[in-house]
Structure 1
Amino acid sequence: MDMSALREINEWMIDGARSAPTPAQMMAESCERAVRAGLPLWRVGVFVRTLHPEIYGRHFFWKPGGEVEVGSVAHDILDSPEFAVSPLSIVFKQGVEVRARLDDPASTRFPIVQDLQAEGVTDYIALPLINTDGPPNASSWTTKQPGGFTEEQLNAIRSITVPLARYIEIVTLRRTATLLLDTYVGNRAGERILGGQIRRGHADTMDAAIWLSDLRGFTALSDRLPAETVVEILNLYFDCQVAAIRDQGGEVLKFMGDGLLAVFPVDEYVGDEAQVCSRVLEAARASRAGVAALQFPNGEAVERFRFGVALHLGRVLYGNIGGGNRLDFTCIGPAVNLAARLEKIAGKLGRTVVASERFAGICEGGWSDLGEFPIAGFAKAERVYGLHDEASRAAAG
C-alpha cells in the first residue's frame, strides 16, 4: 500500500475535501483515492443520523465505477427486524466495530452475509464514526480480495474513519441547523438566519399574499376529547393546509394554537401578483377540501368545527422581532393585522374563505361581495368578498 497516498487522503478530508463540494462527491473521490493507494475496496457505506421529524438517517453507498447512491430511512427502521440483526445496529448502539469474515461460520448470525457472499465479497467490517459529542455514525467496508482484509489494510481503513468522522460531523451540523430552521421557522427565514440575519431589528419589507387561518369549534372539541386525540386531530388539520401552502409556493411562518400564518412572496420586479394570488386561492380550495374530508382517529367525521382562512395582499415587515435574546422570525404590519380581522369576520359570516377587496380585485372570478365591515384599529371599513360556491353553505349555517 502507498502509505503517503493514504496520508494525503486524510489531510485532504481534514482540510474540508475542498475539491468535492458535496458529500456524495467527497465519498466518491476519497474511495477512488483509497483504491489507487492500494486498498482493495468493493462496497463502502456511510450511515449518518439526522435530527429530522421524519427521517432517522441518510446513507451513501459507493462501488467502483458507479455513482454514489444516496438515500434516507424513516424512524421506523429502528423497530424493523432487519435492523435488529444488522451489524450496524451494534455499531449505532454500542459504538464498537463489527467484523464479518465470510469464511467464519460465526458471521452467519448476520443475514447480510448471505447477500455479500452472492456478490463475491470475502470480508466485511462495520466501524463507528465517533463524533466529538453525541452518538456515533457508522461506516461499512467490504472487499473481494481472497482471504479478506489484511491487518495493515484494516488499520488503514481505521485511520481514514477519523478524519471522515470529523468531516461528516461538520457537514451534518450544518445540515441539521438548516433542517431545524426549515422545520421550525420555514425555508426562507432559515436561509436568512443562517446568512447572518440574527440581530433584533434586522427586518426587510416585502409584498406578499397573506394567509391567516383558524379552526372554529376547536375549544369545544378540546373539552370533550382526550388531549392525545386533540393533538392528533390538530396535526391532521395542519397537514391539510401545510402541504397545499407549500405546493403553491407559500411559506408557513407560524402556528398559533389552532391558527396558522403563511405568506406567498410577490416578486415586485416581475409583477406576478395575479399568479401568486391565483396559487393562494388554489391552496385555499385544496385545504378546504382536505379539512372537509378529515376523520377522527376513531373514524367519526369531523363536523363540529370549521376551518376559516382570510386572504389579503399587502406589504409586510419580515424579520427578527422579540425581547432580549429570544427572537422570532415573523412578519408584522397593518396588512397582517387586517388579515387577522378578516378571519374573524369569516367566522361571523360562516364562511370558509374570505378575501380583502385588494386580493379579490387581483384574483378575479368566483367572488361574491359580502359588504363593508368596520375593522377594529382601522380608520375605514373594508369590503369583504367570499367565494360563490360557499353561498348556500353560509346561508344554511
Structure 2
Amino acid sequence: MQLSSTLAWLVDEASTVPGAEHFMTRLGERLVADGLPLAGGALTQAAPHPIIARRTWLWRADTGEVIEALGFGSLGAVGLEPASVGRDWLTGLGTGIVQENVVGPTGDGASDAPVLGWAASRPLTKAESELLLEVARFAAAPLGVLAAQSTLAALLETYLGRRSARQVLAGQLRRETGETIRAVLLYADLRGFTELSEATAPTSVVAALDAWFDRIAGAVHAFDGEVLKFIGDGVLAIFPVGERPASAACDAALRAVAAARAGMAYLDRERAGQGLPPLPFGMALHLGDMLWGNIGTADRLDFTAIGQAVNLVSRLEGLCKPLGRDVLISGAFAAETTRDMISMGEHRLRGIADPCPVFALPA
C-alpha cells in the first residue's frame, strides 16, 4: 500500500521539525492541501514539568496561527482532563463538527497519551474520518521524539537554568573557558540561617528555604533576569546587558529587588501569624563582567560563575548586616542608574584590592 504524502511526511520528516508548534502548522496545512475541510486543530500533551501539567497547541486553518495554552497542576491530579482545553477551543470555532483521536495505536487509552483533535467546516466522509485516525496513529513516533526533546530541555532548565541548559543541549560537555557575560549581578543571602537550622525541624527549614527562593527567583525572572546558582541559602542571579544599555539592566534589577523585598515583607507577616520568626536577608547589586563555564573533573562537571565581579558582589552582600541595610549597591552599578542612591562611603572588601564605593537605596 502506498502511503499518502501526509502519512509519508509523518514517517520520514515530522520528527525533524523544531517543535510541536511547527508540527501542528505543517500537519494542518498538509491535511488542508489533501482536501480535508479543516477549520482548526488541537494537540494536547502531558508536560513533565514541576509547574505545567499539560500543553495544548491550537491551530487555526484560516490564519495558520498557532497559540499555546498551558494547564497547571500535577500530572496525577484528580479530574485532570488533558484534552479539555483543545476540545473546548475546537467546539468554539462554531462548526459543530469535532473529531478527537488518541495518538498512538488504536485502543491506546492511556490518560497521558497525546490527543489530536480537529474541527471541520462540514461533516466528514468516512474516508476523511479514517484518514484523521490514521494520522493520529502515524503521529505517535514523531511526537514521541519531539516530546523526548522537550522533556530533556525542561529537565535541564529545571536543574541547571536556561543558560546552562542551552549549553548542555548544544553539546558543551567538556571543561572549557566558557563565555564572558557583562551583566548586573545580584547576590542574595539569608541571615542567621545556621541558627535557624539548629533550632528548627528540617522540614520547616526546607519550607522556609523554598519560600525564600520563590520570592527571590520569582522577582528575578519577572524582570527578565536569570538565576544562575542556588548556593546553600544564597542566590546568584544576573540581568545580562546584551544589546541594551547597561542602565536598562540596572533598572530591571532594581525593580526585581523591590518586588523581592515586598514579597519577603508579606512572607514575614505570614510567618508572624504562625508564630514563626522572620527571615532577615541581605542583597547586593553590582555591574561587571563574569566568566560562566564548565569546571570540575573530566567526567563530572558543573557550571559556575568566576571573576572579580562575582567575588565583589558576594563580599558586598556581607556588608549588609554591619551597615544595617538589606540592599547594598556598588559604585559601578550606581554610575549607570539615574535612581537616587545614598552614599555609604568607600569600604574595603575581603579579597578585593581597591576600596569599593558603596550605596544604599532610600528608605
Superposed CA offset, 1:104-154 (max 9, x none) = xxxxxxx99xx89x9755x96643437xxx99632255788999985x777
Aligned residue number for residue 230 of structure 1: 205
CA distance in structure 2 between the aligned counterparts of 1:333 and 1:316, rounded to whole angstroms: 5
TM-score computed with the length of structure 2 as normaliser: 0.79
What secondary structure sits across from 2:335 in the alignment?
helix
- Decide which of 190, 207, 227 is 1:252's aligned counterpart: 227
Aligned residue number for residue 350 of structure 1: 324
> Aligned letter for 2:362?
H
How far 1:212 sits from its partner (Å)?
0.8
Could you tell me which runs of 5 or more consecutive residues in structure 1 were left unpaired when the two chains were aligned: 90-110, 390-397
Aligned residue number for residue 54 of structure 1: 51
- Decide which of 323, 336, 345 is 1:371's aligned counterpart: 345
- Decide which of 270, 289, 293 is 1:319's aligned counterpart: 293
**2:188 corresponds to 1:190:** no
Aligned residue number for residue 137 of structure 1: 113
CA distance in structure 1 between the aligned counterparts of 2:271 and 2:124, rounded to whole angstroms: 54
CA distance in structure 2 between the aligned counterparts of 1:226 and 1:149, rounded to whole angstroms: 65
**2:357 corresponds to 1:383:** yes
CA distance in structure 2 between the aligned counterparts of 1:147 and 1:355, rounded to whole angstroms: 66
Please tell me whether the aligned partners of residues 44 and 139 of structure 1 are also in contact (alpha carbons under 8 angstroms): no
Aligned residue number for residue 288 of structure 1: 261
How far 1:254 sits from its partner (Å)?
0.4
How far 1:343 sits from its partner (Å)?
1.2
Please tell me whether the aligned partners of residues 199 and 320 of structure 1 are also in contact (alpha carbons under 8 angstroms): yes
Mapping of residues 156-195 of structure 1, within 5 Å: 156-195=131-170
CA distance in structure 2 between the aligned counterparts of 1:62 and 1:273, rounded to whole angstroms: 39
- Decide which of 183, 197, 200 is 2:175's aligned counterpart: 200
Q: Measured at CA, do residues 265 and 19 of structure 1 come closer, stay the same or move farther in structure 2, by a change above 3 Å?
A: closer
Q: Measured at CA, do residues 200 and 41 of structure 1 come closer, stay the same or move farther in structure 2, by a change above 3 Å?
A: same
How far 1:257 sits from its partner (Å)?
1.8
Aligned residue number for residue 283 of structure 2: 309
Mapping of residues 30-109 of structure 1, within 5 Å: 30-31=27-28, 33-34=30-31, 37=34, 45-61=42-58, 65=62, 68=66, 70-76=68-74, 78-81=76-79, 83=81
What secondary structure sits across from 1:369 in the alignment?
strand
Please tell me whether the aligned partners of residues 55 and 75 of structure 1 are also in contact (alpha carbons under 8 angstroms): yes
Superposed CA offset, 1:68-119 (max 9, x none) = 5532212347434363xx9x79xxxxxxxxxxxxxxxxxxxxx99xx89x97
What secondary structure sits across from 2:292 in the alignment?
strand
CA distance in structure 1 between the aligned counterparts of 2:238 and 2:298, rounded to whole angstroms: 26
Please tell me whether the aligned partners of residues 374 and 382 of structure 1 are also in contact (alpha carbons under 8 angstroms): yes
CA distance in structure 2 between the aligned counterparts of 1:69 and 1:317, rounded to whole angstroms: 37
How far 1:40 sits from its partner (Å)?
7.8
RMSD over aligned CA atoms reads: 3.8
Superposed CA offset, 1:253-287 (max 9, x none) = 001121000112223x76x2233223222222221
CA distance in structure 1 between the aligned counterparts of 2:178 and 2:197, rounded to whole angstroms: 37
CA distance in structure 1 between the aligned counterparts of 2:23 and 2:5, rounded to whole angstroms: 14
How far 1:311 sits from its partner (Å)?
1.4
**2:10 corresponds to 1:9:** no
Q: Measured at CA, do residues 42 and 127 of structure 1 come closer, stay the same or move farther in structure 2, by a change above 3 Å?
A: farther
Superposed CA offset, 1:147-181 (max 9, x none) = 9985x777644543344122212222222233333
How far 1:242 sits from its partner (Å)?
1.6
CA distance in structure 2 between the aligned counterparts of 1:41 and 1:276, rounded to whole angstroms: 46
Aligned residue number for residue 209 of structure 1: 184
Please tell me whether the aligned partners of residues 55 and 74 of structure 1 are also in contact (alpha carbons under 8 angstroms): yes
Could you tell me which runs of 5 or more consecutive residues in structure 2 were left unpaired when the two chains were aligned: none
How far 1:316 sits from its partner (Å)?
1.1
CA distance in structure 2 between the aligned counterparts of 1:314 and 1:61, rounded to whole angstroms: 43
> Aligned letter for 1:261?
L
How far 1:58 sits from its partner (Å)?
1.3
Superposed CA offset, 1:212-246 (max 9, x none) = 11011333333444433332332222222222222
Please tell me whether the aligned partners of residues 15 and 143 of structure 2 are also in contact (alpha carbons under 8 angstroms): no
Q: Measured at CA, do residues 224 and 43 of structure 1 come closer, stay the same or move farther in structure 2, by a change above 3 Å?
A: same
Radius of gyration: which is bigger?
Answer: 1
Please tell me whether the aligned partners of residues 103 and 114 of structure 2 are also in contact (alpha carbons under 8 angstroms): yes
Q: Measured at CA, do residues 219 and 144 of structure 1 come closer, stay the same or move farther in structure 2, by a change above 3 Å?
A: same
Q: Measured at CA, do residues 388 and 165 of structure 1 come closer, stay the same or move farther in structure 2, by a change above 3 Å?
A: same
CA distance in structure 2 between the aligned counterparts of 1:40 and 1:361, rounded to whole angstroms: 62
